[in-house]
Amino acid sequence: MHLTVASVGDSDATPSESVTTETDNGIKVVIPVRVARAVRILYRHQVEPQGGDLEALRRQRKGRDAVIDFTVIRKGQTSLIAETEILAMSSLGTVLSRWPGPAISLYTENDRRHFSAHVPANEVPNNASLCVRLSVTDEMVHDVTAVTRCAD
């Protein structure tokens, strides 16, 4: 594998790359603007990603919000790139309402991470369970089923 990442630019800020302002008493301030780039690299060598799971789901009320706390667990030996969705579900498993949840990134240094998601309590139907659906969004991963768990 060969990877080259290059960023070409002046090391000193020029007037077009700076924010300049002058105060009423004649003081001139120049703030150089620098742009940084980051590149995410996921390298897998003959290891099939296994996705993730959810545990320790807990529902509570905080002011006007219904809050669901949950822990995401990374399975296998590779990173987990996923998204979550908060669901209000009937006792028959029908999705009644849905809200976007936090994006998930768990790399091999971490096997689990705790999250909280807030949704408007008045939008959660009566007697509905509050649930989380975890879906792998990594383009390189295929055939990993989404996981849905509900808070007690």
What are the pLDDT digits (tens) for 123-133?
Answer: 999 999 999 99
pLDDT at 80: 86
Q: Give the residue from 11, 145, 136, 22 showing the smallest Cα distance to 79.
A: 136
pLDDT at 65: 96
The fold of 52-150 is Immunoglobulin-like (2.60.40)
CA distances from 54 to 9, 91, 100, 133, 151 (A): 44, 20, 16, 9, 10
Q: Do residues 128 and 88 touch, judged by C-beta distance below 8 A? A: yes
Tell me the per-residue pLDDT of 22-49, one tens digit each, with 9 for 90 and over. Answer: 777 777 777 766 666 666 666 656 566 6
Buried b (16+ CB within 10 A) or exposed e, 111-146: eebebebebeeeebeeebbbbbbbbbebeebeebee
Q: What distance lies between CA 8 and its chain's CA centroid?
A: 30
Helix (H) or strand (E) holding 30: strand 28-32
Q: Per-domain residue ranges for the chain?
A: 52-150
Q: Does 59 score more than 70 pLDDT?
A: yes
Name the band, by pLDDT with cuts 50, 70 and 90, for residue 10: low
pLDDT at 95: 96
Q: Give the residue from 145, 150, 152 showing the smallest Cα distance to 88.
A: 150
